[in-house]
Amino acid sequence: MDIKAEFLRIMAEQTEIALATSVNNVPNVRIVNFYFEPAENILYFSSFKGNDKVKEINENPNVAFTTIPYGGNEHVKAKGIVQKSSKTIFDLAEQFIAKIPGYKDTIEYAGELLILFEIRFDTAVVTKDLQTIKTIKL
């Protein structure tokens, strides 16, 4: 089995991650939509300006995430560093909408209120099933 191909497939098919942040040793997790750019190995997500997630990221850029499977157990999890992207949600609108068609409405109605973030990570744990769990280096 080509674990890198499985990683890319899962990242392309799954639409949400559980994103964990932590400030002063107090963890917080929430579900966010995402787009993964395989050519850059960057996971992108957006957030409304000024919310708790943005404040937490500004205080501590270390995050962890796991994709959320909707059937079976396939998922990817990783730890990385998050930062505000130099791109905007409008720059990646086509990619987000192709992956999550309903995101078009969010971008049209609230795009100016969204900050685009990027997570950079160099390893990930890929779970195909309960017997196939492998760590890959990107």
Q: What is the pLDDT of residues 28-73, one digit of tens each?
A: 999 999 999 999 999 999 999 988 888 899 999 999 999 999 888 9
Q: What is the pLDDT of residue 109?
A: 93
- Please count the CA atoms within 13 angstroms of the CA of 107 that sit on its side-chain side: 19
Number of structural domains (the chain) is 1
Q: Which domain holds residue 111?
A: 3-137
Residue 81 sits in a domain of what CATH number? Answer: 2.30.110.10
136 vs 4, 23, 40, 42, 57, CA distance in Å?
7, 28, 16, 15, 26
pLDDT, tens only, 70-106: 888 999 999 999 999 999 999 999 999 999 999 999 9
pTM of the model: 0.94
